[in-house]
A and B are shown apart, each in its own frame.
Chain A
């Protein structure tokens, strides 16, 4: 026991420059991420309505009142439904297209690296710019989508895509999917490139069809990187604020409102930090839960 303590002391003395080197980064993360996280969670239990900062209850403990307030709010309820819909639509669409693209790009094609670079363009473009570009393309007066559709006779007159309750959600989702595919694809492609060709050749010799070798060989091998990529992608999808806010601001009639935009609206438009913090905590829990379910699903198949 004595010896162990002594050894640990010696270890510490020998490695002190290491601790010194990681200290600034650890301090930065503690003060810039961990502390605000806990402060945010704390705020969700506090009365903090900036519209009425002189009220007696301002900055006092509120218990679960903020949570009760948002759960009885119809817009919040709709934003929860929208968040689930938004996540599932984005995730499924991105996963399928990215998988097909990665499988196609994994073949020996002429000009493969050129295609790969060009396909990465949507990922590299800043979110705000993508949002403004597509707002332009969807526009009722000058948008190319309307112009072409009318010219080709598919529409009798222009549609204000982003102003319509029926279409806005899908139009914005399309932009998020368009922007999200390359990231997912790169991960799958990197994993696919690690599988030696000989594995498929021997499977083919044994009479396995393409379909079978995909499910039996490819998928199990790339499962782990796929799971990591999907969770990272999920974080991006759920916090896809810029695209939604710049295209529709959650409208029309809250049809594109997700938890993230709801929390933003509560905080910086309605100035109620308490309920906004409560909504963001729900969002955080949603992300954690979704990742957990996904990881469980991946593990179960083993």
Chain B
């Protein structure tokens, strides 16, 4: 029979083993991706070179200088940043209106906003195609950004409302007593208090539009206008795939995600569960 302390120790050991196993499962695929990106073609097909004995940066050089990949990367950056800015402006305005003024049916509006997340993307995509063709917005970034706003905006509004409800609004009152106008009070005081929360929201908007594949693959036809997720398929040929190039493209496209992780490390867990994000 085990003593209570031994039991506790055993449970802790099991927890450690389980967590470390899961960490390996989460990270190992990408370790192998990086290894592959550093291999030559022959090494990739050689079972004795699972861990390469020598490495090459030829794949990265090819992806960066001899393909459209950098262009796709910049296209995606442009689209996601514009989407993010539009969403943040609209949602800060809306959240301020909803929390600081007495709006008839404010709760209902918030629930309706949340409900729109239940709409399957494909159900919206079909009418979008007809609407965008009428507006001549197919193969245009304007159209794509509008569609991206359809899924980032509801989330941004919901999340910003959640953050705004935790802000000490007395700060605004006292700033106004000191002679600030309402907008001055907002930008000089409240904005600074809300900054960490808004930052997390903005970065989630960024992630969501960076991740998007289906709309981009349907609505963008011109090669040089492709986004990174769609452009990745360039390395998948009709009959063969250049795995080395594809895997170096994967590594490069993960860079913004790494930056994102480094930036929101601290606020991640709270930001995730308070606003209910789904990537």
Contact = CB atoms under 8 A, between A and B. Distances in A.
Bound together: yes
B12 A232 contact: no
B23 A118 contact: yes
Interface of A: 11, 14-15, 17-22, 24-26, 28-29, 32-34, 36-37, 39-41, 43, 97, 100-101, 103-105, 107, 109, 115-129, 132-134, 136-137, 139, 141-142, 144, 147-148, 150-151, 178, 182-183, 186-187, 189-191, 210, 225, 228-229, 232-233, 235-236, 238-239, 241-242, 245-246, 260, 263-264, 267-268, 273, 276-277, 280-281, 283-284, 287-288, 291
Chain B interface mostly helix, strand, loop or mixed?
helix
A20 to B, nearest CB: 8
A281 B30 contact: no
Contacts, number: 258
The 10 closest A-B pairs by CB, nearest first: A18-B101, A21-B97, A25-B94, A280-B123, A190-B273, A39-B127, A32-B150, A104-B15, A22-B97, A128-B229
Interface string B54-77: 000000000000000000000000
A118 B30 CA distance: 12
B63 to A, nearest CB: 14
B167 interface: no
A293 B146 CA distance: 33
B127 A129 contact: no
Contact of B153 (A29, A134, A148): A29
Contacts of A41: 123
B120 A280 contact: yes
A163 B265 CA distance: 39
Contacts of B78: none
Central interface residue in A32, A103, A236, A287, by most chain B CB within 10 Å = A32
Contacts of A260: 120, 122
A242 B26 contact: no
B124 interface: yes
Interface string B122-142: 111111111100000000000
B94 A136 contact: no
B149 A32 contact: yes
Contact of A267 (B125, B211, B257): B125
Contact of A136 (B214, B243, B253): B243
20 contacts: A15-B102, A18-B97, A21-B96, A22-B94, A22-B98, A29-B116, A29-B153, A33-B150, A39-B127, A39-B130, A43-B127, A129-B250, A132-B246, A235-B117, A239-B121, A264-B125, A276-B126, A277-B127, A283-B120, A283-B122
A124 B229 contact: no
A193 to B, nearest CB: 8
B130 A151 contact: no
A22 B253 contact: no
A284 B122 CA distance: 10
A134 B270 CA distance: 30
Interface in B246-279: 246-247, 250, 253-254, 257, 260-261, 265, 268-270, 272-273, 276-279
B119 interface: yes
A121 B26 contact: yes
Interface string B5-35: 0000001101110111011011101101100
A186 B270 CA distance: 9
B90 A28 contact: yes
Contacts of B185: none
A242 B257 contact: no
A241 B23 CA distance: 26
Contacts of A236: 278
